[in-house]
Amino acid sequence: MQLNSPYPATMPLTGFLLSQQIATTQLDLGIELIDTIFTSKQLSILLDEIEHLPKLSKRSRQLLVHRSFIVTYIEPAIRFLRNQDLTLANRFSQPLFWQDVIGESDEEHLLFGFGESGVVDQAKYLTTRFIKEIAQLIQETTHPHFQLIRYAESLTVRLPDFAPLEQELLSNPTTIDLLMLQLLHKHIQENDPEWIGLSVPFPGNLYGAMRCAQYVKQNFPNIKVVMGGGYVNTELRQIEDVSFFKYVDYLTFDDGELPLLRLFTGGELIRTAFLKDGNIYWSNRDSVENISFSNWGNPSMVGIKQSLYLDMVETTNPMHRLWSVGRWNKLMMAHGCYWAKCTFCDTRLDYIGRFEQASAAIVVDRMESLMAQTNISGFHFVDEAAPPALLRKIAEEILSRKLVVSYWVNIRFDKTFTPELSYLLAKSGCIAVSGGLEVASERVLKLINKGVTVDSARLCMENLSQQGIMVHAYLMYGFPTQTVSELYDSLTQVRNLFQIGVLQSAFWHRYAMTIHSPSGNSPESIGAKAVEHAVGSFANNEIPFITQPDIDWDKYAQGLSLATYNYMQGTGFELPIKKWFK
């Protein structure tokens, strides 16, 4: 979840259900909760709780000294990050204004990142640090589960058994839980629903969703609760623990359109698990029946409180800012990935493995519908990897309708992104792309089955960046059989790409073997051996494995991010690669 735009899962579902004449609304409890917590009144209550603690860290004590400042400036700060009062920019852009609360700021770094005239951005950067300091204070003292964009993730990130989560649910709700439940209560009273659907995209959303489900069961026993989303699809396919169904009536898997339609209107249930005679019953678990992507209808923003979203400027990197700044309309141009062959990727799951496209006209109709609903012309296409041929047609359609839009999109660094296609994309409003370069080493790229070489990826990046399109790369380390020397080579390639100006941003992920990927299905095909492990009765995703050489990759994580952070700022190119690692 981000704080600048709603997560894209519920809008297509809501639009589809409305198109079937099923009265539906949606809400983003996450942003509504942030809106409730970060007020003078609510923060005063939380700070009272904190002040009564017997033991506090030095940093917490320092912050509490500035309690009056925090309570006075929290609401103007939130208004400012919502772009509702930009006249505050001059005050908020001064490091001295915040210094006592957020600590010192590196003036040289600020000048480099924002220049003399980037007053609004610099102010947002410093104000974001203010909000993060408060969030950290809350987390370190009274509410260890609280984070700005996730909740209780440490509890849910690996959860083979449901028991630890249930134990937490059986303890008293915290002040923050109660605030969330009050919001839910209000929405239930206003809408009087027969069903509540909870979309859980990540582990960091599970606890909050389960607290809501528990509240509904305890207080509104006639409402049926159904849960789906990325976390369910990925982790809960082997669920055996019946206690989970005390809270949730139905789990649906993969695309939710048809399973929900059947639940709400009758007919044979598909890809749905529920409790029957005390056991988990699966109705048509492997059904491939779906509403075609072209027939989903226009996404709907009904129920989403667009004015509550916040711009959080956490780095000075322009590409990173796209993720957390601006109210991007989120949309998919196709279902699944047109390549669907990378060995680390969850290609055996429907949302990646089943490729289906709509026509360019339908995609651009959906864009126009969202623009009319939000008054915003920026789009983030959230496809796993946009198909270049369709992207071309969409660009042509945007130009022929004379739409003024900006968009960014995930791609594969495919050789089809020629200078001509890159020109067309830029003309139609494409401002940035992100794609996987993974391990930038020819041998490992082959093992990954990425279908690109370092040279072809460089050419693709060059073509795009020559048209002013920013490029972000996802990088990977710790792939089975990878050597330290290949890691150094990979970082060297990345450094070169930054240095010649064809890459503006990058992020490293540690390889994880998952049960839905080709590598998890056949570890030996990539030179690994799965370690015997018990299958959990609740969530299952990662597979422990061994490989040669056996390297402690944790030792390299910090060096990789430090080097890349420097390259993104345009520094550190002269330092020998090995120097980044202790």
Binding region for ligand SF4 (CB under 6 A)? 337, 339-342, 345, 347, 352, 384-385, 412, 436
- Separation CA 298–CA 374 (nearest Å): 13
Please identify, using beta-carbon distances, which residue of 385 and 424 lies nearer to ligand SF4. 385
Cis peptide before 549 (omega within 30 of 0): yes
CB of 345 to ligand SF4, least distance (A): 3
Residue carrying the six token digits 């949302």: 351
Please identify, using beta-carbon distances, which residue of 245 and 339 lies nearer to ligand SF4. 339
DSSP 532: P
CB of 436 to ligand SF4, least distance (A): 5
CB of 84 to ligand SF4, least distance (A): 37
User: Considering only CA atoms, which of 574, 13, 579, 46 is closest in space to residue 291?
Assistant: 13
Please identify, using beta-carbon distances, which residue of 342 and 568 lies nearer to ligand SF4. 342
CB of 341 to ligand SF4, least distance (A): 6
Please identify, using beta-carbon distances, which residue of 81 and 352 lies nearer to ligand SF4. 352
Q: What is the CA radius of gyration of the chain?
A: 24
What angle (nearest 5°) sits at the alpha carbon of residue 435, between those of residues 320 and 429? 70
CB of 544 to ligand SF4, least distance (A): 22
User: What does the block give as tokens for 414?
Assistant: 């495919």
- Cα separation values, 294 from 253, 297, 332, Å: 20, 7, 11
Within 13 Å, how many C-alpha atoms sit on residue 284's CB side?
Answer: 14
| CA dihedral for 350, 353, 359, 363, sign (positive or negative) | positive
Please identify, using beta-carbon distances, which residue of 101 and 385 lies nearer to ligand SF4. 385
CB of 344 to ligand SF4, least distance (A): 7
Please identify, using beta-carbon distances, which residue of 345 and 364 lies nearer to ligand SF4. 345
Q: Are 223 and 213 in contact (CB under 8 A)?
A: no
Q: 240 Cβ partners below 8 Å, 6+ apart?
A: 280, 537, 538
CB of 159 to ligand SF4, least distance (A): 24
For 164, other C-beta atoms within 10 Å of its C-beta total: 14
Q: Would residue 508 be called left, alpha or beta, if left means φ above 0 and alpha means ψ between -120 and 50 degrees?
A: beta
Strands in 160-218 per DSSP E: 195-199
Q: Are 559 and 475 in contact (CB under 8 A)?
A: no
Please identify, using beta-carbon distances, which residue of 28 and 414 lies nearer to ligand SF4. 414
Q: Is 435 exposed, middle or buried (0-12, 13-18, 19+ CB in 10 A)?
A: buried
CB of 297 to ligand SF4, least distance (A): 25
CB of 132 to ligand SF4, least distance (A): 31
- Separation CA 270–CA 258 (nearest Å): 8
CB of 130 to ligand SF4, least distance (A): 37
Please identify, using beta-carbon distances, which residue of 343 and 564 lies nearer to ligand SF4. 343
- Separation CA 393–CA 511 (nearest Å): 34
Q: Are 423 and 449 in contact (CB under 8 A)?
A: no
User: What does the block give as tokens for 140?
Assistant: 């370190």
Q: Are 406 and 377 in contact (CB under 8 A)?
A: yes
- Separation CA 101–CA 529 (nearest Å): 50
Please identify, using beta-carbon distances, which residue of 227 and 342 lies nearer to ligand SF4. 342
Q: Are 273 and 280 in contact (CB under 8 A)?
A: yes
- Cα separation values, 247 from 225, 250, 513, Å: 8, 9, 30
CB of 452 to ligand SF4, least distance (A): 9
Please identify, using beta-carbon distances, which residue of 79 and 341 lies nearer to ligand SF4. 341
CB of 351 to ligand SF4, least distance (A): 10
CB of 412 to ligand SF4, least distance (A): 5
CB of 340 to ligand SF4, least distance (A): 5
Please identify, using beta-carbon distances, which residue of 341 and 509 lies nearer to ligand SF4. 341
Please identify, using beta-carbon distances, which residue of 43 and 513 lies nearer to ligand SF4. 513
User: What does the block give as tokens for 491?
Assistant: 């970082």
Helices (H), 82-174: 89-92, 95-102, 107-114, 119-141, 153-156, 163-170
- Separation CA 42–CA 48 (nearest Å): 10
Please identify, using beta-carbon distances, which residue of 156 and 434 lies nearer to ligand SF4. 434
CB of 335 to ligand SF4, least distance (A): 12
For 437, other C-beta atoms within 10 Å of its C-beta total: 26
Please identify, using beta-carbon distances, which residue of 49 and 442 lies nearer to ligand SF4. 442
User: What is the residue type of 146?
Assistant: F
Please identify, using beta-carbon distances, which residue of 269 and 337 lies nearer to ligand SF4. 337
> Could you tell me the end-to-end alpha-carbon distance of the chain, in angstroms, rounded to an integer?
33
